[in-house]
Structure formats: structure tokens, C-alpha cells
Amino acid sequence: MRIGILTAGGDCPGINAAIRGVGKTAILEYGMEVIGISSGFLGLINEEYVQLDENVLSGILTLGGTILGTSRENPFKKNNTFNAIDKPKLIKKHYQELGLDALVCIGGNGTQRTAAQLSEVGLNVIGIPKTIDNDVYGTDVTFGFDSALWIATEAIDRLHTTANSHKRIMVIEVMGHHAGWLALYSGMASGGDVILLPEINFDIHMVARCLKKRAINKKPYSIVVVAEGIATPKGESAARYVANNIKELTGLETRETILGYIQRGGSPSPMDRVLATRYGAYAVELIAMKRFGEMVALKGDAVTSVSLADVGGKLRLVPETHPLIEKARRMGVCFGKESC
Ligand code: F6P
């Protein structure tokens, strides 16, 4: 068999581990040929390919980013043509010309939706979920999340010491798009006093009240972790909006930090290396069994799969009833809703 593999959407640590998992299993276990497609779906439009042999796949397990490159190209966007040809048609044509028996799409929500659409038009597609946001529907975890969690936690740990020295309030904005997974987990891992998530409507006055109370109770400093996706008026950055309002409402010295792309860069954590490898290997098992139109997923401890048709276009958000939120509230963490 000849299989293609592409990486699309925002990058994250662990993608190369997944490429290696797919490639080595395909070549060594099944004698398949593996073609890397450059820059996500754009590579199938522009016909940019690279042969992935054992040499190319060696030494990439620990590498951040993606050796194939990525893009946010969505071929199914309305009126999306290349040289006047409909992009999905072009992709199908190039897939056939390449002689592919299957296509592995490594990506987040947008990628899985495109994968589902390509599957509908007759391509043999397998999805592998990745993203630091951990918001892909149908799987308990995406790889990339654990690495980003380590980075964000380490950064917030460092902000504790400088906050303490200066008796300041530190507002830290973490990524996550519309989901609050990274904010919730990094906030809890680093002992955040206030955690604001897109999934929980917050009242900035409640947040200010909680921080004032901490100051009155002689807490020298406070840590406020905010998800980038929280609602702010006028599209202001989450950290800027929260920090400015805290300053105004409490009069306490406040600083903001936006962690940004640091969360997506560098070497994957050991957990992400293992998860990405398991996902990659299982994607090839599915291909060998000719079970196409599926996305690899983790359910509990087991790697399994779900239908791409059920996944495409859906988000996995933090439920307000999440047990970690309940535990946090009992320990006095403020989510900006309850009065403290
Ligand atoms: O999906 C990963 C992510 O890093 C989000 O957390 C963030 O909102 C977005 O990508 C940033 O996208 P871009 O790379 O296009 O700036």
C-alpha cells in the first residue's frame, strides 16, 4: 500500500512523534510506502511531496514543530479554487495521481472536519487529533496538550516568585482558542487564585472582590490565570482587559503576561511522545484493516477510533460541572461567578 500523511492547522509538540509512529509502523510492520505531503492540504493542491523513508523518520521523535510544515488551508471554504479548479476536486485528482491508498491527516478540529469532508467525497482518510487546546471532540486527550501544560505551568511558577517579591497581582493569559482546558489545568497545577474560562461567564466585579479580600487577609500577591478565549468587550486581549479592570476596581498593583506561541514550541513531553506514537501506530492498524473514515482517539487508557463523520465540526469544551472545577471551588479558587 502507498499512504500519504499531512499535518494541518496550528502546530504543537508531538507532531513529529506521530509522523514517526505512522511511518515506522507502516514501513517496518506492513511494508507500506509513505509519502509526506508539505504544508497541510496546500501540499495536495500544489503537489509538494517528500518520500518518508526510515532515514527521514530517524531522530525526529523529540523535535518540536512538524518536519512536513503546516498551513490553515481549508479547501472546502466557499469559492476556494486554484487555477479555476475547485480545490477538493484538485485534491482528489492529485491523491489519485499519487496512487495513494490512504491519507492520514494530523490536525485539530478544522483538520478533522476537512478530513471528514474528503472522506465523504471518496478518499480513504484517517484522522489523528493534535492540538495544545485539547478541544477535539471524540477523544479524551489530544497530544500537544500535556507539553503546553508543562510550559504554561512552569511559566506561572516563575511568575509566583516575582509576584511575591513585588506584592503584585499577576494576570497570565494562556492559549486554548474557545476552550478553557489549558487555563483550567495550568491554573490548578500552578496554584492559581482566580481562573477564568470561556465556558464560565464571569463577573469582573466578583474577581475584584475576591482579590481585595485576599489582600485584606494579608495574602501578599495573587495569580490570575485567564484563557485567551474569554469574552471581552471590543475584542481586547483577555489579559489586558482583566488586568486593566483589576487595577481600576482594586487599586492593587497589577501586571499582565501573555504566554503566546511559547506554549506551542519546543520538544514534546514524554507523555505526548508516547501518546503521539500510539496514535500514529494505531492509524496504520486502521489502514491495514481498511477501516477508513475514522479518527484515532483515546478513551480512558485505550487507543481506539471514532467515526470522522461524528467528529467533524464539533468542539469539546470544559463542562461547567467538571470535577476539577468543583474541587477548585471548594478550595477557594475563584472562577468569577461565585462570590468569595
Ligand atoms: O489551536 C492552537 C492555537 O495555538 C490556539 O490556542 C490559538 O488560538 C491559535 O492556535 C493561534 O492560531 P495562529 O497560529 O493561526 O495564530
Name the average pLDDT for the chain.
Answer: 97
CATH architecture classification, 146-264+319-330: 3-Layer(aba) Sandwich (3.40)
CA-to-CA distance for 62 and 266, rounded, in angstroms?
9
Question: What Rg value do the Cα atoms of the chain yield, rounded?
Answer: 22
- What contacts 13, CB < 8 A, 6 or more positions away? 64, 132, 143, 144, 147, 148, 264, 265, 266, 267, 268, 269, 272
Q: Which of 53, 101, 133, 157 is catalytic?
A: 133
Q: What are phi and psi of 227, to 5 degrees?
A: -80, 145
125, 283, 297, 305 from 302: Cα distances, Å: 21, 14, 8, 10
Q: Show the cell assigned to 230.
A: 474569554
Contact present, 68 and 83 (Cβ < 8 Å)? no
pLDDT digits (tens, 9 = 90+) for 68-98: 999 999 999 987 888 878 999 999 999 999 9
Counting ligand 1 atoms within 8 A of each CB, the residue from 177, 182, 316 with the most, and so the one to mutate, is 177
pTM of the model: 0.97
- What contacts 270, CB < 8 A, 6 or more positions away? none
pLDDT digits (tens, 9 = 90+) for 237-264: 999 999 999 999 999 999 999 999 999 9
Which residue has the CA at smallest separation from atom 12 of ligand 1? 10
Q: What is the pLDDT of residue 78?
A: 86
Q: What is the pLDDT of residue 320?
A: 96
The residue written with cell numbers 485539530 in the block is: 108
Q: Which residues line ligand 1 (CB under 6 A)?
A: 10, 108, 131-133, 175-177, 228, 264
The region of weakest confidence among 6-10, 40-44, 76-80, 101-105 is 76-80
Which residue has the CA at smallest separation from atom 16 of ligand 1? 10
Q: Are strands 254-258 and 85-86 parallel, antiparallel or unpaired?
A: unpaired
Domain coordinates in residue numbering, the chain? 2-144+268-300, 146-264+319-330
DSSP tag of 267? P
Establish whether domains 2-144+268-300 and 146-264+319-330 are of one fold.
yes
The region of weakest confidence among 177-181, 230-234, 319-323 is 230-234
133 is catalytic: yes
Q: What is the pLDDT of residue 85?
A: 83
37, 187, 271 from 191: Cα distances, Å: 42, 6, 22
From the CA of 177, how far away is ligand 1's center (Å)?
6
From the CA of 279, how far away is ligand 1's center (Å)?
22
Confidence of residue 167 (pLDDT cuts 50, 70, 90): very high
From the CA of 10, how far away is ligand 1's center (Å)?
6
What does the pLDDT average to over 17-28? 98
Annotation: CATH topology of 2-144+268-300: Rossmann fold (3.40.50)
Percent of the chain with pLDDT over 70: 99
Ligand 1: which atom is nearest the Cα of residue 177?
A: 8
b/e burial code for range 202-241 (CB count within 10 A of at least 16 → b): bebebbbbbbbebbeeeeebbbbbbbbbbebeeeeebbeb
Q: What is the pLDDT of residue 235?
A: 85
From the CA of 178, how far away is ligand 1's center (Å)?
10
